[in-house]
């Protein structure tokens, strides 16, 4: 996927923000953002082959131009209700530690250039709530977008499950 981007990636600012370009998408009622350089392409929903004995959030695998790619459902990973696919449901193919993975999302919104001044650190919750996968909270046009560190969304153990579902060694 070519976006005509200038190659600018998210960079950590002194204030703790991560300014840069983000692909924004929707899950349920919430808006999220991913660093654009982690995104390889966006594809429409296609047939997903289930893989036995994988965690529920791993939907299965797709065949993308001859390459088997595992697909996860971020709704399930984040403890949300599973949703029926719509015409806007799509898969964002991302690169996580040199492994391609598909992320099932409700809809893709837009690419935003978010300045460091528009990003606040993640809110402090109790120790029981995992927030290490949140880069920050982007405040854009009166809305808040949860900026994800896609490398941290899955634990190392979960990444092993995803890699094995996709046939990686």
Q: Residues 31-44: pLDDT tens digits?
A: 999 999 999 999 99
Strand ranges (E), the chain: 11-12, 18-27, 30-35, 39-44, 58-64, 67-73, 90-96, 99-105, 107-114, 119-120, 134-140, 143-148
Q: Give the class (CATH, top level) of 20-156.
A: mainly beta
Q: Domain ranges in the chain? A: 20-156
Average pLDDT over residues 143-162: 85
- Residue 16 pLDDT > 60: no
pTM confidence score: 0.82
pLDDT bin (cut points 50, 70, 90) of residue 167 is low
Average pLDDT over residues 36-57: 94
């Amino acid at each position: 996927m070519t976006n005509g981007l200038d190659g600018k990636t998210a960079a950590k600012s002194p204030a703790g923000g991560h300014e840069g370009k983000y692909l924004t998408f929707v899950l349920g009622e919430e808006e999220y953002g991913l660093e654009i350089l982690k995104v390889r392409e966006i594809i429409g929903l296609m047939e997903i082959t289930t893989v036995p004995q994988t965690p529920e959030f791993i939907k299965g695998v797709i065949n993308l131009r001859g390459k088997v790619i595992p697909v996860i459902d971020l709704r399930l990973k984040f403890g949300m209700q599973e949703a029926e696919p719509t015409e806007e449901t799509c898969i964002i193919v991302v690169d996580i530690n040199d492994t391609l993975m598909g992320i099932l999302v409700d809809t893709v919104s837009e690419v935003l250039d978010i300045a460091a001044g528009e990003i606040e650190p993640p809110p402090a919750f109790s120790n029981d709530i995992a927030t290490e996968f949140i880069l920050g909270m982007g405040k854009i046009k009166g809305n808040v977008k949860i900026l994800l560190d896609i490398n941290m969304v899955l634990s190392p153990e979960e990444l092993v499950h995803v890699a094995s579902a996709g046939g990686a060694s």
